[in-house]
Amino acid sequence: MLPTTAKLKQELYSFAHTFWSCCLLALVLAGIGGTIYKVISPDGWLAGAFGRSLSAGAAALGSLALVAGLAWFSRSWGAADNRTVASELLAYAFAGAGLFYMVQLWLKGAL
C-alpha cells in the first residue's frame, strides 16, 4: 500500500524536525564545551585574568564557579513561563557560541 501525500508530508516534517533538533543539540554541546575550554584552558579567560603563575588555580576556580553557576541557574524558582523563555534563550545562546566556536575551529584550526 502506497503512503498518502499527507502521510508523506508528515514523515518529512518529522524527519526535518528531528534533524534540526540534532543539529541544535550538537551546537549547544559545542557551545558549552567551547565555553568551558575557553574558561579553564591555560590560555583561557581566567588564566589571562589571574596571570600565568596562577593558571592551575584559576582553572580549578573557574571550573568550580562554572559548576556553581550552572547549578544556581538550574534551580526551579520563578514562574514556569519565565523558566521556559530563559532556558530557550540560554540554549540558543550556547548554540550561537557553538556555531562561533565551530567556525573559528574550521577557519583557524584552533579555538
20 assigned to some structural domain: no
Angstrom distance (rounded) from CA 100 to CA 44: 16
User: Same structural domain for residues 49 and 71?
Assistant: yes
Residue 74 predicted with pLDDT over 90 = no
Domain membership of residue 2 (yes or no) is no
Residue 6 lies in a domain: no
- Looking at the fold, whether 91 and 68 belong to one and the same domain comes out as no
Q: Per the domain annotation, does 90 fall within a domain?
A: yes
- pLDDT tens-place string over residues 77-110: 555 566 677 778 888 999 999 999 999 999 988 7
Confirm whether 51 is domain-assigned: yes
C-alpha cell at 52: 600565568
Q: Print burial letters for 70-98: b (CB count within 10 Å at least 16), e (below 16).
A: eeeeeeeeeeeeeeeeeeeeebeebbebb
Residue 44 lies in a domain: yes
Query: What pTM was estimated for this model as a whole?
Result: 0.67
pLDDT digits (tens, 9 = 90+) for 19-53: 999 999 999 999 999 988 887 787 777 666 666 55
d(C-alpha 101, C-alpha 107), whole Å: 10
Neighbours of 50 (CB within 10 A): 15
Q: Per-residue pLDDT for 72 more than 80?
A: no
User: Residue 39's CB: how many other CB atoms inside 10 A?
Assistant: 18
pLDDT at 54 over 60: no
> Which residues span the domain enclosing 109?
79-111
